[in-house]
């Protein structure tokens, strides 16, 4: 299999134009949607192919999805009819311009910092956009008296419908889940998407999430390195370093579950941990400032052993512990059950490379390449059968192209 050629073909097939903006849509679905979470990952896949294309992707994302408060919307629906259709299904989730009220993990800021590291001064404007994005999270999503930001809706975690939030959202049925999350949108919007207001008003979903917090820390670390490389102002670098220390300490103090040696979510509304073993709990372990502490090493050693750990089976890395006969309908589930994803492999690869376990990192990459070769390019794969499901199929799913960035990081000095 010509992996590079296969992934380039998939990415080229997802490329689309909206006015002057060029970006890659999440999958072969509607062309009039720019999803910032997906585009950020596609920019990382493009980085080893053409850093300038990666930069253009991220510039389009920031142009299309930036909110008035500086946060980055999860998506922008450019077609008004499609926007109305989605709002009918998910609740009043969009502003008049089609940007979503909900945000996503700041993977775009991480990708922008990586691009700036490759292009240098040429990408300074992009790095400034990413830094403003991180500042906005600091200003808009940190409740009083806490070192960690919160999400106000499960879509903001990146792993929608996953078991991470089962103690907050009780339904696992797809239709009921959509109805309940629609109610959460209305509640969060009534609180103006403000954490302090949400806590005071009793909004039921105010959560410190390991995926969101992990990506924030990864982005802060990468931005600090990028600004140092560009000779940025000492005050800018110092601010980022202070925030890195603050978020790393908050993750270790608040999200660590010693019993299972993994990071978990915290329900701020009820002041309780949401204990679930998922691959999402390994995202913070990929951060260099957390790896320096013993907890991250424990998490990686326990949960990222190929063919041994419950999250890592013979076919790949699952979001949840692998079990036979889970009895789930693949047409309904995404991040539930035996769900292997290119993203779970990417997260594992990040953690393993930063923990200096390159052989296991290569195993994670080659497994996703093998799944693409045997089953096609899909959003998810069943960890038992290897069958692909979700978005993808003949047109492919761009997430699998993250293998390009994985390979590039393996080859880096």
Range(s) of the domain holding residue 323: 3-411
Question: What integer is the mean pLDDT of 204-215?
Answer: 97
**Strand, helix or coil for residue 314:** coil
Number of domains in the chain: 1
Q: Mean per-residue pLDDT for 77-83?
A: 84
Residues whose CB is less than 8 angstroms from the CB of residue 89 and which lie 6 or more positions away in sequence, other chains included: 178, 182
pLDDT at 215: 99
What does the pLDDT look like over 16-53, one tens digit per residue?
887 778 888 777 766 778 999 999 999 999 999 999 99
The rounded mean pLDDT for the chain is 91
**Per-residue pLDDT, 216:** 99
Q: If pLDDT is split at 50, 70 and 90, which confidence band does 161 have? A: confident
CATH for 322: 1.50.10.10
Read off the pLDDT of each residue in 367-372 and give the average, rounded to a whole number. 96
Burial class of 134 by CB neighbour count within 10 A (0 to 12, 13 to 18, 19+): buried
Mean pLDDT check: name the lowest of 1-10, 114-123, 261-270.
1-10
Q: How many CB atoms lie within 10 A of CB 132?
A: 15
- Average pLDDT, integer, range 90-100: 86
Q: Is the pLDDT of residue 171 over 80?
A: no
pLDDT tens profile 312-332:
999 999 999 998 766 566 555
pLDDT band at 196 (very low <50, low <70, confident <90, very high): very high
pLDDT at 370 over 80: yes
Give residue 63's pLDDT band: very low, low, confident or very high (50, 70, 90). very high
- Of the given ranges (69-83, 169-183, 315-329, 345-359), which has the lowest mean pLDDT? 169-183
Please say if the pLDDT value at position 218 is more than 70: yes
pLDDT of residue 369: 95
Higher pLDDT, 198 or 93: 198
| pLDDT tens per residue, range 271-309 | 999 999 999 999 999 999 999 888 999 999 999 999 899
Q: How would you class 266 by CB atoms within 10 Å of its CB: exposed for 0-12, middle for 13-18, buried for 19 or more? A: buried
Average pLDDT of the segment spanning 403-407: 97
Mean pLDDT throughout 139-145? 92
Mean pLDDT, rounded, for 127-154: 95
Tell me the C-alpha distance between 340 and 401, whole Å.
Answer: 15
pTM, two decimal places:
0.95
Full DSSP string of 18-47: ETTEEEE-SSSS-TTEEEHHHHHHHHHHHT
Long-range contacts made by residues 406-411, C-beta under 8 angstroms, separation at least 24? 406/345, 406/346, 406/349, 406/361, 406/364, 406/365, 407/3, 407/48, 407/365, 408/47, 408/48, 409/349, 409/353, 409/361, 410/353, 410/358, 410/361, 410/362, 410/365
């Amino acid at each position: 299999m010509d992996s590079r050629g296969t992934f380039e073909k998939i990415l080229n097939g997802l490329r689309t134009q909206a006015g002057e903006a060029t970006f890659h849509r999440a999958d072969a679905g509607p062309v009039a949607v720019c999803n910032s979470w997906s585009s950020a990952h596609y920019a990382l896949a493009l980085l080893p192919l053409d850093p300038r294309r990666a930069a253009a992707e991220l510039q389009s994302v920031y142009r299309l999805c930036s909110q008035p408060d500086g946060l980055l919307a999860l998506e922008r629906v450019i077609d008004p009819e499609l926007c109305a259709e989605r709002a009918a299904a998910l609740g009043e989730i969009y502003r008049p311009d089609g940007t979503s009220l909900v945000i996503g993990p700041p993977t775009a800021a991480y990708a922008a910092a990586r691009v700036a590291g490759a292009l240098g001064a040429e990408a300074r404007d992009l790095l400034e956009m990413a830094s403003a994005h991180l500042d906005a999270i600091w200003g808009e999503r940190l409740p009083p008296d806490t070192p960690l930001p919160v999400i106000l809706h499960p879509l903001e975690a990146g792993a929608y419908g996953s078991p991470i939030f089962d103690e907050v959202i009780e339904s696992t049925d797809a239709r009921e889940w959509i109805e309940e999350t629609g109610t959460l949108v209305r509640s969060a919007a009534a609180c103006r998407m403000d954490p302090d207001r949400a806590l005071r008003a009793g909004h039921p979903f105010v959560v410190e999430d390991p995926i969101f917090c992990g990506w924030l820390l990864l982005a802060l670390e990468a931005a600090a390195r990028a600004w140092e490389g560009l000779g940025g102002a000492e005050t800018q670098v110092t601010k980022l370093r202070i925030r890195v220390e603050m978020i790393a300490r908050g993750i270790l103090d608040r999200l660590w579950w010693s019993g299972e040696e993994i990071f978990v979510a915290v329900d701020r509304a009820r002041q309780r941990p949401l204990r679930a073993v998922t691959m999402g709990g390994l995202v913070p372990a990929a951060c260099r400032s957390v790896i320096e502490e013993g907890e991250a090493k424990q998490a990686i050693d326990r949960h990222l052993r190929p063919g041994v750990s419950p999250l890592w089976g013979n076919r790949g890395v699952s979001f949840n512990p692998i079990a036979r006969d889970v009895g789930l309908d693949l047409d309904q589930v995404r991040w539930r059950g035996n769900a292997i994803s290119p993203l779970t492999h990417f997260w594992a690869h990040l953690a393993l490379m930063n923990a200096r376990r390159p052989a296991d990192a290569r195993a994670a990459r080659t497994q996703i390449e093998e799944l693409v070769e045997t089953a096609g390019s899909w959003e998810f794969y069943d960890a038992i059968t290897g069958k692909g499901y979700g978005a993808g199929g003949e047109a492919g799913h761009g997430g699998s192209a993250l293998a390009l960035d994985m390979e590039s990081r393996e080859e880096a000095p």
